[in-house]
Amino acid sequence: MPAPRPPSAVLPRDTVAYWRFDAAGLAAAGSDGAPVPPGTVARDLSGNGNHLTSALLHDSGPDTLTWSAEHHDGQPAHASLRFDGGKGPDRGAVLRTGAHAPVNSMTFERGYTIETFLKLPEPFEGDHAWMGILSWEGRAGDAGKHSGWSDDEPTCSLNVSGERFLQFIAYPVPVDADPTSWSHALPVGRWTHVAVVNDGRHTVMYVDGSRIVRNAAEEGRGSPPSASRSSSAARSRPSGTARASTAGSATPGSWPGLCARTSSCSADSSDEPQRGAP
């Protein structure tokens, strides 16, 4: 297995945000299974100040968000977070940028790349709600976008449906449209690498290096800020357990790290439910 790689070895030029959950990026790292307390900061290792702060949702207990040494074999950071969301009663956790984080006001009209590693538990059974990986928290309606499922959904989000489909949706800056990409059902019990690449015109999603079939044909340039925008990474809403991790550019379940960067070409990464899986 490859050794862990330091942030300096995996940060390309123009990286906007890079989050990982080993000791380099998370003060709470180090004890497998230990709760990650509310208020814990995951530092943005790009140096741009887009730090994340953890919070528990509803009346969730401390075991809803825990640290793990588990990781993808090719992941730069040998660490992840475990999100143990559920229903009856609702429980979950979220990592969120501050109100004045620079990424909150960016529109990414020249393109962007989002990368993450994630793992769904095995078995993955029962009635699962949507699980958010990365999203702008704010209403599409507040940004003048009304073509989608609901005015209350975010202007940009990467999610996992209860049926294990990945969904990526980003309302473009110039028009009122909602180009959406869908993956096949994700495997359970093993780590998966996900990348979303936008070249300033179209978006393509890759799962384990393979281009998915159901990418949006509509053009999609950037994503507009709404009046109440913040960035939410690795959100677990009422659902099954998951792990998340990221390396590269932007991850539910156990997440080893997250990173987002702008890109001028495609060479390189809410509590409201999204539209149902096809």
The more confident residue out of 52 and 275 is 52
Q: Which residues are registered as beta bridge partners of 67? A: 81
Residue 100 has pLDDT above 80, yes or no: yes
End-to-end CA distance of the chain: 37
Model pLDDT for residues 155-184, shown as the tens digit of each residue? 778 999 989 999 998 877 756 667 689 999
Tokens 């800056």 belong to 173
* Cα separation, 250 vs 60, whole angstroms: 25
pTM of the model: 0.81
* Cα separation, 59 vs 83, whole angstroms: 15
Confidence of residue 87 (pLDDT cuts 50, 70, 90): confident
Residue 251 CA to its chain's centroid (Å): 4
Length of the chain: 278
**Domains of the chain from N-terminus onward:** 69-76+105-237+245-262 (2.60.120.200)
* Cα separation, 176 vs 173, whole angstroms: 8
Q: Is 7 left (phi over 0), alpha (psi -120 to 50) or beta?
A: alpha
Residue 272's CB is within 10 A of a number of other CB atoms, namely 15
pLDDT of residue 268: 24
Q: Quick check: helix, strand or coil at residue 71?
A: coil
Which secondary structure element, helix H or strand E, spans residue 10, and what is its range? helix 7-10
pLDDT of residue 169: 85
Residue 243 has pLDDT above 60, yes or no: no
Residue 221 CA to its chain's centroid (Å): 19
* Cα separation, 90 vs 68, whole angstroms: 23
Six token digits for residue 220: 């999609």
Residue (of 230, 277, 220, 256) closest to 45 by Cα position: 256
Mean pLDDT comparison of 119-133, 149-163, 179-193, highest-scoring range: 179-193
Q: Quick check: helix, strand or coil at residue 113?
A: strand
